[in-house]
Chains A and B, each alone.
Chain A
């Protein structure tokens, strides 16, 4: 059924709502229109193209290494879920956008078109549905975000999200100092061992006290998913429990002057035995 051949609906008087067709009848009539069906089909196709993006996004995030902490796992999960839940609205928006390019006809040429389109001033149903859909989506994202933030905060504090209790292991304190353009790591519990590479044992909570000697830097441990500014004159805190052996990237994520680009180092996650050996070699004392 095309727009050139509109159906006739039996309605006599606008003043008498009793004569309007029932809602289900109107919905059925609306769904029978050709353009509505084509847009729904297009939305489904676009939606099916968008959802795989959730995996693509995770793939790109993992290119330099899979998540090495529970925090990074939560971050990737959030990216995945957000992509999937926003797919329907994105799909409908893009479907209408693409369909309207030619779907209802188009006009070319130099002169203003003579043929006018339907004078649709508003549509209460569409407005209510759109506001409801966007509000539900935003509400879901907010609630998900609040819960996830609480989750990663408790991971950062070395506790388990479920009961908010410390998981029994004492965290290793590490003092992180940024200065133009190097990172310095000091282990106060290990007899003030100092290093410019971060060497940490696996599955032990780490607690970072971050500060700066000069300008604002940002301590970003990429594959572990933690990031906090290093401010002069203040100590900021973050924490993480690495759960994967290997070497990962630490980058400065706040412009800090001339050699900002080169202000990066590595974090090595090693076994407890290797860590103890390293501490001894550095002249520190054994971890409790």
Chain B
């Protein structure tokens, strides 16, 4: 560290007057008060609403159903709003409205200073706390989604009988889908975008610390409405909840719609925060050519989330409106359109895949240079790849609608755009291959995830090329082939990259090393189970097995048995990995501040990371990829371009 940084000058600046103890009412609010107030508000809303507003006695079944739908929606929203009030989310704005500024001590209290472990259960603004909360939440959601996946595969593996009631089976696949989608959207940008990114760019916190806490607790509040659907008839319509099937659904569907509406606010807030932080809070000297590639990946992902998530939100707002005030946006009999829903849905639905894959890919690029002791190959090509994917991802959504009959001629332009996106996506593969080129890998778990993910991307990418083609899609659409393909992208390239990122940044987040042996065993068991599961699922799809069925022709038996065996293998692997995470977190080997010898800023500060990350803000003098020795083959050396590392 140099002595060029500006020291805090709090003593020179007139501070707002401290009213009472630091934190004020926030000293008393926590997840307990939030949950209590939320539950009370939900119960009161339900009681008042059912007494006064639901026309129970009416002979008009539609009116009664609409009234009940409105009641359930109001109950869910009451839970969300009053949970947020109860946890203290609005304490800051209310104090401003009352004319009291927050003091420095208030801000430090809100950041969780000297509150021990309890700060993880409060509306804490410290980005490291939020990041850790996101990691736990992502693991919880992945566990829930994984459990549902095991149940799905159990049904499909037992080919001689119906294990579950078809309604329950349908809600299994719907809930599995949406839970996993939410989990994968947060699994990299949530934990590592929040915990690591600010340190990586040399900032003391996110640009908007209170919004950071808001984004996490909104997500938290959105989960109970989603989970409760399993007791209210379930989400029986797949994760896409196509209309008008969804309008026939039981009231569990309201939970889906409320969850998506709230979750969209959460991602919007998080995206704004991540973009603003990355753009404005970088350390002195961190020019755009010196920004770690992970930051670029998070920005790319956040931009897509910010622009396209509102489409998903609108689609569900209109669906909810159809339910609770009997509008006809999607009701064909009344002039509504099912194709309107499908368009709004896929406007997010496709960019969402890249929202998942890009930050994971960027995290792997970030870590592979450390394990290869080589600079990132063609940083600028990587950025061009991210930019290209972000740009083109906005004009490919109709490839999900080739077979709807909505616009037969649209197949031509959208086939073009969909196949073009493979070019910038190919840039990312080039960067990873170029970085591997002539490197000696340090074969630790994070590095091995790079190999696994590139393999999955090759398989997922090539099968994606088939599906982008309209004639082929005419056979494959709605078949198990599609299911296998997107699991290769979302799980193979998304989740396994998140595992790599977790293994890499685990020491910084917990101060302990992830158990290499157990973690690797779990990872590889899951990886090979994954290949078996979805490799055989490709075969089922090629044979013509439709997706989302619970019974099928005997011709598909063998591939389904293999898939189920593979799925249980994944389950075992993931449990081993989870066990490794939990035991290492509790009692793993202490890691020190820089166990991997990384050059990005997060490894230059101590572990555990202090409240404001750096004693003195760092000044950056080069990009973080100054690894490697001169190429022995290369007699042409440009000595002045050898970076000197981070000061």
Extra pairs beyond A82-B465, A120-B375, A214-B248 (12, CB < 8 Å)? A3-B438, A60-B543, A75-B474, A112-B442, A117-B373, A119-B375, A138-B419, A141-B465, A148-B471, A220-B546, A229-B403, A253-B546
Q: Which of A96, A100, A253 contacts B478 (CB 8 A)?
A: A253
Residues on the A chain within 8 Å of B406, using CB: 229
Interface positions of A from 13 to 69, Cβ below 8 Å from B:
14, 20, 33, 35, 57, 60-61, 63-64
Tally A residues with Cβ within 8 Å of B.
99
Determine whether A162 belongs to the interface, using a CB cutoff of 8 Å to chain B: no
Q: Is there contact, CB below 8 Å, between A7 and B434? A: no
Across the two chains, which residue of chain B brings its CB closest to A5?
B632
Q: Is there contact, CB below 8 Å, between A255 and B373? A: no
Q: Is there contact, CB below 8 Å, between B627 and A210? A: no
B160 to chain A, nearest CB (A): 14
Q: Is there contact, CB below 8 Å, between B403 and A227? A: yes
Residues on the B chain within 8 Å of A10, using CB: 635
Per the bound structure, the CA–CA distance linking A23 and B521 in Å amounts to 47
Across the two chains, which residue of chain B brings its CB closest to A253?
B478
Type the 1/0 row for B377-412, where 1 means its CB is closer than 8 Å to any CB of A.
Answer: 111110000000000000000000001111010011
Type the 1/0 row for A116-128, where 1 means its CB is closer than 8 Å to any CB of B.
Answer: 1111111100110
Q: Is there contact, CB below 8 Å, between A215 and B548? A: no
Per the bound structure, the CA–CA distance linking A110 and B333 in Å amounts to 67
Residues on the B chain within 8 Å of A93, using CB: 429, 433, 454, 458
Q: Which of A11, A149, A227 contacts B411 (CB 8 A)?
A: A149
B372 to chain A, nearest CB (A): 6
B23 to chain A, nearest CB (A): 42
Determine whether B93 belongs to the interface, using a CB cutoff of 8 Å to chain A: no
A93 to chain B, nearest CB (A): 6
Q: Is there contact, CB below 8 Å, between A146 and B478? A: no
Q: Is there contact, CB below 8 Å, between B426 and A130? A: yes
Q: Is there contact, CB below 8 Å, between B381 and A6? A: no
Per the bound structure, the CA–CA distance linking A8 and B635 in Å amounts to 8
B53 to chain A, nearest CB (A): 29
What are 21 A-B contacts with C-beta separation under 8 Å? Answer: A60-B542, A63-B543, A64-B543, A78-B469, A90-B462, A96-B433, A96-B437, A105-B440, A112-B596, A118-B628, A119-B374, A119-B626, A119-B631, A122-B381, A149-B412, A153-B408, A210-B405, A215-B248, A216-B338, A223-B544, A232-B244
Determine whether A72 belongs to the interface, using a CB cutoff of 8 Å to chain B: yes
Per the bound structure, the CA–CA distance linking A116 and B411 in Å amounts to 50
Determine whether B231 belongs to the interface, using a CB cutoff of 8 Å to chain A: no
Selecting from B222-230, B234-242, B257-265, B303-311, the interface stretch reads: B234-242
A to B contact number (C-beta, < 8 Å)? 302
Determine whether B427 belongs to the interface, using a CB cutoff of 8 Å to chain A: yes
Known A-B contacts A127-B430, A149-B415, A210-B405; A257 and B423 likewise in contact (beta carbons under 8 Å): no
Per the bound structure, the CA–CA distance linking A138 and B442 in Å amounts to 34
Determine whether B552 belongs to the interface, using a CB cutoff of 8 Å to chain A: yes
Residues on the A chain within 8 Å of B626, using CB: 119
Q: Is there contact, CB below 8 Å, between B242 and A145? A: no
Instruction: Sort A-B residue pairs by CB-CB distance and give the 7 closest, nearest first.
Output: A233-B332, A236-B405, A119-B628, A112-B597, A253-B478, A261-B549, A6-B632
Q: Is there contact, CB below 8 Å, between B242 and A254? A: yes
Per the bound structure, the CA–CA distance linking A20 and B373 in Å amounts to 28
Type the 1/0 row for A71-96, where 1 means its CB is closer than 8 Å to any CB of B.
Answer: 11011001100110010001001101
Interface positions of B from 468 to 511, Cβ below 8 Å from A:
468-472, 474-475, 477-479
Q: Is there contact, CB below 8 Å, between A64 and B555? A: yes
Interface positions of B from 410 to 427, Cβ below 8 Å from A:
411-412, 415-416, 419-420, 422-423, 426-427
Residues on the B chain within 8 Å of A169, using CB: none
Per the bound structure, the CA–CA distance linking A94 and B466 in Å amounts to 19
Determine whether B584 belongs to the interface, using a CB cutoff of 8 Å to chain A: no
Known A-B contacts A14-B636, A127-B381, A237-B405; A146 and B440 likewise in contact (beta carbons under 8 Å): no
Determine whether B170 belongs to the interface, using a CB cutoff of 8 Å to chain A: yes
Residues on the B chain within 8 Å of A245, using CB: none
Type the 1/0 row for B135-146, where 1 means its CB is closer than 8 Å to any CB of A.
Answer: 000000000000
Residues on the A chain within 8 Å of B479, using CB: 253
A84 to chain B, nearest CB (A): 12
B502 to chain A, nearest CB (A): 19
A261 to chain B, nearest CB (A): 4
B391 to chain A, nearest CB (A): 15
Q: Is there contact, CB below 8 Å, between B433 and A7? A: no
Q: Of A120, A233, A261, which is in contact with the most chain B CB atoms at under 10 Å from its CB?
A: A120
Q: Is there contact, CB below 8 Å, between B438 and A118? A: yes
Determine whether B524 belongs to the interface, using a CB cutoff of 8 Å to chain A: no
Determine whether B439 belongs to the interface, using a CB cutoff of 8 Å to chain A: yes
Q: Which of A127, A144, A225, A257 contacts B170 (CB 8 A)?
A: A257
Determine whether B114 belongs to the interface, using a CB cutoff of 8 Å to chain A: no
A71 to chain B, nearest CB (A): 8
Q: Is there contact, CB below 8 Å, between A86 and B381? A: no
Residues on the A chain within 8 Å of B454, using CB: 93, 97
Residues on the A chain within 8 Å of B455, using CB: 94, 97
Per the bound structure, the CA–CA distance linking A100 and B45 in Å amounts to 62
Q: Of B405, B420, B597, which is in contact with the most chain A CB atoms at under 10 Å from its CB?
A: B405
Per the bound structure, the CA–CA distance linking A134 and B429 in Å amounts to 11
A52 to chain B, nearest CB (A): 15
Residues on the B chain within 8 Å of A210, using CB: 405
Determine whether A171 belongs to the interface, using a CB cutoff of 8 Å to chain B: no
Per the bound structure, the CA–CA distance linking A105 and B549 in Å amounts to 48
Residues on the A chain within 8 Å of B411, using CB: 149
Determine whether B97 belongs to the interface, using a CB cutoff of 8 Å to chain A: no
Q: Is there contact, CB below 8 Å, between B633 and A7? A: yes
Q: Is there contact, CB below 8 Å, between A257 and B633? A: no
Q: Is there contact, CB below 8 Å, between A119 and B630? A: yes
Determine whether A222 belongs to the interface, using a CB cutoff of 8 Å to chain B: yes
A32 to chain B, nearest CB (A): 11
Type the 1/0 row for B615-647, where 1 means its CB is closer than 8 Å to any CB of A.
Answer: 000000000011111111111111001100000
Q: Which of B403, B550, B634 contacts A228 (CB 8 A)?
A: B403
Determine whether B587 belongs to the interface, using a CB cutoff of 8 Å to chain A: no
Known A-B contacts A86-B462, A231-B339; A142 and B632 likewise in contact (beta carbons under 8 Å): no
Residues on the B chain within 8 Å of A238, using CB: 405
Q: Is there contact, CB below 8 Å, between B238 and A255? A: yes
Residues on the B chain within 8 Å of A14, using CB: 636-638
Residues on the A chain within 8 Å of B627, using CB: 116-117, 119
Per the bound structure, the CA–CA distance linking A226 and B553 in Å amounts to 19
Per the bound structure, the CA–CA distance linking A86 and B463 in Å amounts to 10
Determine whether B572 belongs to the interface, using a CB cutoff of 8 Å to chain A: no
Q: Is there contact, CB below 8 Å, between A145 and B544? A: no
Q: Is there contact, CB below 8 Å, between A117 and B470? A: no
